[in-house]
């Protein structure tokens, strides 16, 4: 049965009602007449996901650096780190203001700490396999300086929340960020970054144009999250549910996507795996929970991936 794009949008417009959505990613780029809109299925994820290998060790699964949190939003940083930790990165380092160190050591003892001031020492950043920046970060001068350094370094990043808000005011940085970066805006962050939109159809067209222009993956979050790849194809995530509509959920997703980048997946594969398992963990928890906290979702991730592999 034909599925049309409007089924995945919260609002209504004339164009999306006529736009077919293909099931599965296998036709991607192979047929000129295939739709740019694809619904991700279980088989797509099974093709991408690699099992953990015999004789592997923490070095096998990469080292992620997360730059997040401010004095009053340390929780966002901890949630982001839990997404990365439970997402299976070999090592996770969190850069928060020093006032967050006790909370970090108490709540997530597996996660390492990097003093914010150390961040500007450029060479120290080269050793990380993935860098995510944004949750609860604030927009003060120090963090703008960090984003400037990351742009100079040309390392791809996972950019969320305040990192996106900063980039929205600095086109010079936005257009010079390394290719294969991943942007994870919700509706409001997306419109702050790329301008106001009348409806979701228009928002998707902008996402397709900007993903191509920036050479980036744009993860436009919603009930059905749209993963827009560097070719402008729109991959629709089928997992997730309204029990997940609670603060901090996006912070966990940012850390989770960074975990997959650290493990060596491409930007597009990391976004696909991250969104799929984030939603799947939410779906499994929603069987017995009316609503789901972000920290409980993070803890569910390894169970959900294991169940999927079985």
Ligand X SMILES: NC(=O)C1=CN([C@@H]2O[C@H](COP(=O)(O)OP(=O)(O)OC[C@H]3O[C@@H](n4cnc5c(N)ncnc54)[C@H](O)[C@@H]3O)[C@@H](O)[C@H]2O)[C@@H](O)CC1
Ligand Y SMILES: Nc1ncnc2c1ncn2[C@@H]1O[C@H](COP(=O)(O)OP(=O)(O)O)[C@@H](O)[C@H]1O
Chain residues binding ligand X by CB under 6 A are: 73, 75-76, 135-136, 161-162, 186-189, 222, 247-248, 250-251
In the list 156, 240, 257, 262, the residue contacting ligand Y (rule: CB under 6 A) is 240
Separation between Cα atoms, residue 161 and residue 280, nearest integer Å: 23
Q: Least separation, in Å, of the C-beta of 306 and ligand X?
A: 27
Among 73, 225, 230, 304, binds ligand Y (CB under 6 A): 225
Q: Does 278 show up as a binding residue in the annotation?
A: no
Alpha-carbon span 173 to 303, nearest angstrom:
39
Q: Which stretch binds ligand Y (CB under 6 A): 147-155, 174-182, 202-210, 249-257?
A: 249-257
Question: For 26, phi and psi rounded to 5 degrees?
Answer: -65, -25
**From CA 268, how far away is CA 231, in angstroms rounded?**
11
Residue 38 in contact with residue 25, Cβ under 8 Å?
Answer: yes
Closest CA to 158 of 48, 51, 260: 260
Helix or strand run (H / E) with residue 113: strand 112-113
Question: What CA–CA distance (Å, rounded) separates 74 from 137?
Answer: 9
Residue 84 is a binding residue for ligand Y (CB under 6 A):
no
Question: Would you say 125 or 217 has its CB closer to ligand Y?
Answer: 217
DSSP symbol at 121: S
Asked whether residue 194 is marked as a ligand-binding residue, the answer is no
- Per-residue x/- track, 128-167, ligand Y (CB under 6 A): ---------------------------------x------
Using CB under 6 A, pick the residue from 163, 244, 261, 262 that binds ligand Y. Answer: 244
C-alpha 104/C-alpha 106 separation (Å) is 5
Tell me the binding residues for AMP.
221-225, 250
- Interface residues toward ligand Y, by CB under 6 A: 161, 186, 221-223, 225, 240-242, 244-245, 247-251, 253, 278
């Amino acid at each position: 049965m034909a599925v049309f794009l409007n089924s995945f949008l919260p609002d209504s417009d004339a164009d999306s009602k006529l736009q077919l959505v293909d099931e599965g990613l296998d036709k991607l780029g192979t047929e000129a007449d295939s739709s740019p809109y694809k619904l991700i299925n279980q088989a797509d994820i099974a093709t991408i996901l690699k099992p953990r290998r015999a004789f592997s060790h923490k070095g096998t699964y990469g080292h992620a650096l997360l730059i997040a949190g401010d004095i009053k939003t340390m929780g966002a940083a901890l949630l982001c780190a839990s997404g990365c930790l439970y997402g299976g990165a070999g090592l996770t380092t969190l850069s928060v203001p020093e006032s967050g160190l006790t909370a970090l050591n108490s709540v997530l003892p597996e996660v390492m700490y990097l003093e914010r001031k150390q961040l500007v020492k450029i060479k120290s950043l080269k050793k990380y396999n993935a860098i995510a920046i944004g949750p609860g970060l604030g927009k003060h001068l120090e963090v703008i300086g960090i984003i400037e350094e990351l742009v100079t370094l040309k390392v791809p990043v996972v950019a969320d929340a305040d990192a996106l808000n900063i980039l929205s005011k600095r086109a010079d940085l936005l257009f010079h960020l390394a290719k294969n970066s991943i942007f994870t805006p919700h509706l409001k962050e997306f419109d702050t970054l790329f301008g106001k939109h009348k409806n979701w159809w228009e928002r998707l067209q902008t996402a397709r144009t900007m993903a191509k222009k920036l050479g980036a993956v744009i993860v436009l979050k919603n009930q059905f999250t749209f993963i827009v790849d560097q070719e402008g194809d729109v991959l629709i995530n089928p997992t997730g549910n309204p029990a997940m509509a609670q603060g901090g959920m996006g912070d966990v997703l940012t850390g989770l996507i960074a975990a997959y980048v650290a493990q060596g997946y491409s930007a597009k594969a990391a976004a696909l795996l991250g969104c799929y398992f984030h939603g799947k963990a939410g779906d499994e928890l929603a069987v017995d929970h009316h609503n789901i906290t972000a920290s409980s979702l993070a803890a569910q991730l390894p169970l959900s991936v294991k169940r999927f592999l079985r």
